[in-house]
Structure 1
């Protein structure tokens, strides 16, 4: 007797693409990986010219992990990619040479030493602050034996979360024709973010972020904005967030979706638990609704010129 297996429904397939990863199950690994991404991110910071709001320091989601993208160096370039499938850090130079650092259980101090050794072998010099930002305490990389966990399966699942968030946020980004950031990974806070701007200046940011100069925040928030992203902390499985700077009157009370999204007074932003998206009948639609309605909260109450800032990314398809 033969058994017929019907193909998975499109809905089931969409939901399967969004993996479950409890924050509590990989906190030690997450915190170690956070420090590793800071080291690699600072390589880009050391050599890339300043872009508005520090866009030149971020990492980007790739089909295998996270990358610096091409970093200018002398008369050539290099890049560094976290490969979360093969579990290695690959550093490549435009002169054709490359080096690898295995991603496995090891301390931040060991990872830092191995990464610096790989750079030396490639004749790449990197002068940067050798301690992490936006965390407390800020342990110098060369002395950090406290963070030393690497659960390869958990890291792979985290990358799959980023892959889905990056895809949906990228589609959301396409509807905005005003100034808008890439969808990029900020290693300071360990979050994937995308930011839209109204075109107007903003009041100086008060700063106050641990081990990060107030001037860094002043540059980051120098223009009126609406930002959204994903952070692997908060809630059971991480959370999507959205905020406005400066926050206009009425923003926090604006109705947003989907069900499960709420304004956190403690955090000063809207939050949507990752698991709410993952378990939704249409995860893409649920996250898109959150991104759209929270942006509308900023744009409507902040009196943005929406007619000149938004457009349909499919506007040329009928031509």
Structure 2
């Protein structure tokens, strides 16, 4: 029998945003480069789900990217601190994760891909940030604190685990738990099944058509990103936001609606220090979803399911 361990508060690492802001901003640009490689070769899936990265047992991965009649993948390994590029032909190339500029990381990554025979024409400048310095010219972002990067991955690992449990409660259309490199956030999105009004766009250095595709259906989204709190924050929002959404009661006590951001926020440190971090986060995810579903009159009976419905038959 497989033995499982019970998560504890110690599993949730402490990482002050102020202590790793320079590394965070550099890593943001590095993940944009790798994400754009996936974007260049993966076929379009609704809401840009084909461009995301995924939390892995060692870091963040693209998963398999189709290339010709084969495939390749790219993984940020935050244990051995290397970018590992693997081809279905059997070849492997590594790029060290160490203090270096975005320009150097971009050059080394493109060279490694070229050595594997993988041609990757990307738009080599970042999206959703201001200013958008072309990767080949970015010598400003050059920090890499290996310890902080490892702790960030551990934050993502815990967030992904609990968000995955929350995702299992929904039988309707729901995204994977995945990492969007544009805004550097881990997200999971549920959909009501109804269309939404056209999104106005407005993200910096990002065409409005990107947001139009992303928000083409009515949704409730939740996630985590390394901002919004001393140690990062969990968030939840609805599009379109229904009347009364912001006033809906949510848990735990530290959660609040940010008028500035147009979403509910829960500081990561409130989860980390809770008596039962998993329960605190699940409460936030569930009650903010209910704010969208109840106020937006979703057909909850049709969309929701019991994740333990087959438990007695195992």
- Same fold flag (TM > 0.5): yes
Q: What are the ranges of 5 or more consecutive residues in structure 1 without an aligned counterpart?
A: 1-9
Residues 158-213 of structure 1, C-alpha deviations (whole Å, 9 max, x = no match): 00000000000000000000000000000000000000000000000000000000
**Which residue in the other structure is 2:291 paired with?**
297
Q: Within 5 A, what are the aligned runs for 1:77-226? A: 77-226=71-220
Deviation for aligned residue 1:265: 0.3
Written as runs of structure 1 = structure 2, the 5 A alignment for 1:27-38 is 27-38=21-32
Residues 268-283 of structure 1: pairs in structure 2 closer than 5 A: 268-283=262-277
SS at match of 2:19: helix
Q: Which residue of 2 aligns with 1:76?
A: 70
How far 1:128 sits from its partner (Å)?
Answer: 1.2
Question: Could you tell me how far 1:238 is from its partner in structure 2?
Answer: 0.4
C-alpha separation between the residues in 1 aligned to 2:227 and 2:9? Answer: 21
SS across alignment from 2:312: coil
Runs of 4+ in 1 over 4 A off after TM superposition: none
Q: Does 1:239 align with 2:239?
A: no
Task: List per-residue Cα deviations over 1:91-144 (Å, max 9, x = no partner).
Answer: 000000010000000000000000001001000001111000000000000000
Aligned partners of 1:300 and 1:234: how far apart in 2? 26
Q: 2:222 aligns to what?
A: 228
Query: Which residue matches 2:61?
Result: 67
Aligned to 1:40: 34
Q: Which residue of 1 aligns with 2:260?
A: 266
Partners of 1:114 and 1:206 in 2: CA distance: 37
| DSSP 3-state at the match of 2:144 | coil
Counterpart in the other structure of 1:6: none
- Could you tell me how far 1:318 is from its partner in structure 2? 1.8
| Most deviating of 163-172 and 229-238 | 229-238
For 1:147 and 1:274, the matched residues in 2 are separated by 25
Query: Residues of 2 paired with 1:156 and 1:317: CA distance?
Result: 35
Question: Is the aligned partner of 1:317 residue 2:311?
Answer: yes
Displacement of 1:294 after TM fit? 0.1
- Is the contact between residue 228 and residue 265 of structure 2 (CA under 8 Å) also seen in structure 1? no
Q: Equivalent residues in 2 for 1:43-62 (5 A)?
A: 43-62=37-56
Which of 273, 281, 290 aligns to 1:287? It is 281
SS of the aligned residue for 1:318 comes to: helix
Report the secondary structure of 2:248's partner residue: coil
Cα distance in 1 between the residues matched to 2:298 and 2:284: 19
Q: Deviations over 1:26-74 (max 9, x none)?
A: 0000000000000000111000000000000000000000000000001
Kindly report the root-mean-square deviation, in angstroms, between the aligned alpha carbons of the 2 structures. Answer: 0.9
